[in-house]
Structure 1
Amino acid sequence: MTRPGTIYEAIGGFDTIDKIVTEFYKRVGNHPTLTPIFPDDLTWTAQKQSWFLTQFFGGPQLYNENRGHPMLRRRHLPFEITPERKDAWLECMDAALEEAEIEEPYRTAIFEKLTMTAHHMMNTP
C-alpha cells in the first residue's frame, strides 16, 4: 500500500522508480570505479534496488516482503565501498534522477536521503 503524501507517490510511483533504476544501472554498468564491485548481469541487483527505493520513498514494502529487513550496511560489507566509489555511485544516481526528470523539491529530498545512505555504506578508507 502506498501512503499518501510520500515521495514515492509524488514522483509518480512504480514507473518513475523503474526509470530511475534503469538509468542508474546503465551508468553503473559502465563506470570503471563501480564495475569491480557489481556483477556483470545487473538484472537481480536492479530488481533489489527497485524494491528498496520503492520502500525507502514511502511506497509498498517490497524489499521487506521479498528480502527481509534491508540491513544495508551489513549486506554491503563484502564490497569495498571507498569514498571514491560512494562519489561515483552518487554521480550515477544524480544523472539518473536528471534523466528521469525528477522535479524539485523531490529531487533534492531524494538526493539528500541517498547521500546520507551512501555515506553510511562506506566501509573502506
Structure 2
Amino acid sequence: MDQIRRGTLQTETFFEQVGGEPTFRRLVHSFYQGVAGDPVLRPMYPEEDLGPAEERLTLFLMQYWGGPRTYSDERGHPRLRMRHAPFTVDRAAHDAWLGHMRAAVRELELNEDHERQLWDYLVYAAASMVNTPE
C-alpha cells in the first residue's frame, strides 16, 4: 500500500503489508509443528529442540520480505545452498517441505495476492535447495 507522507511516496514492504513479525512467527511455528513429526525432514535437524531452527527461518524470512536485518546481523549472508549442502535434499524432502509450508501458509489466511507472492517464492526456494538427483 502506498502512502504519501510530507510530500514523498512511501511504500510498505511485503513484511509490513502482511502483518509484520507476528505473521512470520505464526507461519514458521506452524511449519515446524509439521516438521517435528515428519520422517523425511526431522532427521535433517541435528538439534533435539527445533526452536533454534525455527528462529533462524523466521529471521531469514522476515529479512527477505523487508523486515529487520537481524538474520544477516547475527549470521552473515544467508548462503542458503551452502548451509543446506551437508544434507540430502532430494525430491522427497522438497515435497515434504512444501507440504508443511503449504499448510502453514494457508493458516495465515492472507489475501490472494499476498498468498500467491509468498507461495511463489517458497516454491522457488524449495526447488533451489534440491542437491540430490533422483
Fold-level similarity (TM above 0.5): yes
**Pairs aligned (count):** 123
- 2:131 is aligned to 123
Q: Which has the larger radius of gyration?
A: 2
The question of whether the paired residues in 2 share the 8 Å contact of 1:23 and 1:100 is answered with no
1:19-38 aligned within 5 A:
19-38=26-45
CA distance in 1, matches of 2:11, 2:83: 30
What's the % identity of the aligned pairs? 39
Q: What is the aligned counterpart of 1:14 among 17, 21, 25? A: 21
CA distance in 2, matches of 1:108, 1:37: 28
Structure 2 residue runs without a partner (length 5+): 1-9
CA distance in 2, matches of 1:38, 1:106: 29
Once the two structures are TM-superposed, the CA of residue 56 in structure 1 deviates from its matched residue by 1.1
Once the two structures are TM-superposed, the CA of residue 100 in structure 1 deviates from its matched residue by 2.1
The ranges of structure 1 where at least 4 consecutive aligned residues each deviate by more than 6 angstroms after the TM superposition are none
- 1:94 is aligned to 102
The question of whether the paired residues in 2 share the 8 Å contact of 1:73 and 1:120 is answered with yes
SS of 1:32's equivalent in the other structure is coil
Amino acid of the structure 1 residue aligned with 2:103: A
- Deviation string 1:65-124 (CA, Å, 9 cap, x unpaired) is 111000000000001000110111011111001112222111110111111111111111
CA distance in 2, matches of 1:62, 1:98: 26
1:1-125 aligned within 5 A:
4-39=11-46, 40-125=48-133
The question of whether the paired residues in 2 share the 8 Å contact of 1:21 and 1:49 is answered with yes
Once the two structures are TM-superposed, the CA of residue 18 in structure 1 deviates from its matched residue by 0.6
CA RMSD of aligned residues (A): 1.3
- Deviation string 1:19-41 (CA, Å, 9 cap, x unpaired) is 00110000011112211212331
Amino acid of the structure 2 residue aligned with 1:120: S
The question of whether the paired residues in 2 share the 8 Å contact of 1:24 and 1:92 is answered with yes
